[in-house]
Chain A
């Protein structure tokens, strides 16, 4: 089974070739009529539109930069709130059973509801401004943050805890000095999950009366039957999400130097 022996040497050309073949198939499928130009834009068009949108507010009203900033700020707001509240909550839930018993029922009630389904209720409570969108993102992104935090704490092996106890550490110190560091890898996975959930929720949230944002841009692309705008929007969301995830991984590597 070849994949289990790592052969990193000449792999990059395969990656590039694979992507190029994919782009070629994509380009040809439009040029040869497999997809009409109203259904799919070839990569050449998408690239052209991308660069055009950097400065041109047509046809949807704003440049790519404005859309991106609008989406990014809302996503960042919801995501940060979700982590700020969700992580401590999850950690406490993992360590103190009464907290878990108290919070978990509400959490399990609200967890399965898709972000887009929150729109009616949130619109009722918060209107249709940026706060409402941030709240929707918050509601969606908090779920992985909490779950991974308490799972991380729960996984702390009893041996470690017993060591702490035999050293005479208080419950709180065991929590902060043993359990939390042990939970960090799982926690960071949760943070990354929370981030991708936030981006997914963003697209849903921007379906509520926005006039800016990448999700709005995609909607406009659909209404104006311009698939190049749609694809530009999709890829911008995808790349932003991937970049932020990469940054998070770098941060995690910094913080968990003891390596596992």
Chain B
């Protein structure tokens, strides 16, 4: 990470590398302290990690932790795939056709500021509490960033490329495929990145409201039974998976879009 304070030939002191370790240690210490003050309600970090391993390797319930994880992941991936395809399509339509943009974009702008969570009651009324509802909510959450970023790519595209291609005799189809799409590809990827974390957020929210498996469901059930351990384990998983997905996406980005 390029840091403005590290000007030129600035040599980082060795102990700086310990700072992240120190802050994590501090966090764990505060957690442990809080747990000691509330032994009935808040488990210590050690207890939580042990519980995590137990749940992973020695499941006692019929639906294991990994089942929950996979249920959540599955929904996100399906919704994400659909959202990416349709989102890019809509974004390109908005950018490519002025007429389409003028007629349809205001509707999109009207619906865009509504948070995906606010859609949940309506979606549940339409689709019940099955898989479709949860996928639909994640779809909304992921769809919007993809459209916004794809369309934004159009507005920041350098016109010179297009003019150059036209001068060289490119047809509309070629313009689209050879100039525009590669040009906005970084924007599409940026939108897809936001969409991935948005989708993950939405699936947890949707599961907390209406589901029978999944990490969100696990949290809600554990809230009802006062099982703080499960909640913390679920949170750790939610955080870790989100981090892993972001990491994988960054790696993928470098491969797919070197420019």
- Chain A residues with CB under 8 Å of chain B are 1-4, 7, 11, 14-15, 17-19, 21-22, 35, 38-40, 94-98, 100-106, 108-117, 119-121, 124, 153-154, 156, 158, 161-162, 165, 171, 179, 196, 199-200, 202-204, 207, 215, 218-219, 221-222, 225, 227, 230-231, 233-235, 237-239, 241-242, 245
Contact = CB atoms under 8 A, between A and B. Distances in A.
Contact of A165 (B7, B117, B162, B172): B7
20 contacts: A1-B175, A3-B96, A17-B103, A19-B106, A19-B107, A21-B103, A39-B125, A101-B16, A105-B23, A114-B200, A116-B205, A120-B222, A156-B4, A158-B4, A171-B5, A179-B4, A203-B118, A204-B117, A218-B118, A227-B125
Contacts of A215: 118
B116 A94 contact: no
A120 B235 CA distance: 10
A18 B52 CA distance: 53
Given A112-B197, A222-B125, 13 more contacts: A2-B99, A3-B96, A18-B103, A39-B126, A102-B19, A105-B24, A108-B243, A112-B238, A117-B204, A117-B208, A117-B238, A119-B223, A199-B113
Given A1-B96, A2-B97, A105-B23, A97 B197 contact: no
Nearest to A12: B102
Contacts of B241: 112
A156 B110 CA distance: 35
Contacts of B197: 112
Given A2-B98, A18-B102, A106-B27, A241 B113 contact: yes
Interface in B151-181: 154, 157, 159, 162, 172, 175-176, 180
B114 A238 contact: yes
Q: Which of A3, A96, A153, A219 has the most CB of B within 10 A?
A: A3
